[in-house]
Copies of this chain bind each other. A is one copy, B any other.
């Protein structure tokens, strides 16, 4: 009996140590305050292309999703979850009819990227720092300046819809 009791204490202590070392997301009445991305990751405009997209409606833009090397490697190997350090960037521009292209094609069909629009957004994977939002930090920058937290609080609730893809909507385009 004494041995079993000692073992139980050891296990409980170990479990306590682990719980102490690894902050788990707190729930309900003592939820952890989400942390957001407030600094633009350097060099993101040089990153490789993940995919492109078009948003109609109020956003009305054409966009590109770029990824750092960690992101691209994970996408190409179809590995989930994304590794620590993964960063995904979403750039967007106005969706402008191109008179020049239309003249060449002989019909109105061509739209190109105009001025930057709807800011630049980032998702950064850091399971500890961003534990309260699925391990991802969300950031949005207009003209290089970080947006208010009120806007960023809306990111995670929507991304939860695709928890099974590690909260990332964009698929890689081959």
Report whether A53 and B105 are in contact in the complex, using a CB–CB cutoff of 8 Å.
no
Shortest Cβ gap from A99 to chain B (Å) = 12
Contact residue among B64, B104, B111 (Cβ-Cβ distance under 8 Å from A64):
B64
Task: Please provide the chain A residues from 69 to 107 with a CB less than 8 Å away from any CB of chain B in the complex.
Answer: 91, 93, 95, 98, 100-101, 103-105, 107
Does A55 lie at the interface of the complex (its beta carbon under 8 Å from any beta carbon of B)? yes
A60–chain B nearest beta-carbon distance, Å: 9
Whether the Cβ atoms of B100 and A169 lie closer than 8 Å is yes
Most buried by B among A52, A55, A59: A52
Q: A64-B64, A93-B173, A173-B93 are in contact. Are A51 and B104 (CB under 8 A)?
A: no
Question: Which chain A residues have a beta carbon within 8 Å of chain B's beta carbons?
Answer: 45-49, 51-57, 59, 62-64, 66, 91, 93, 95, 98, 100-101, 103-105, 107-113, 116, 158, 161-162, 169-171, 173-174
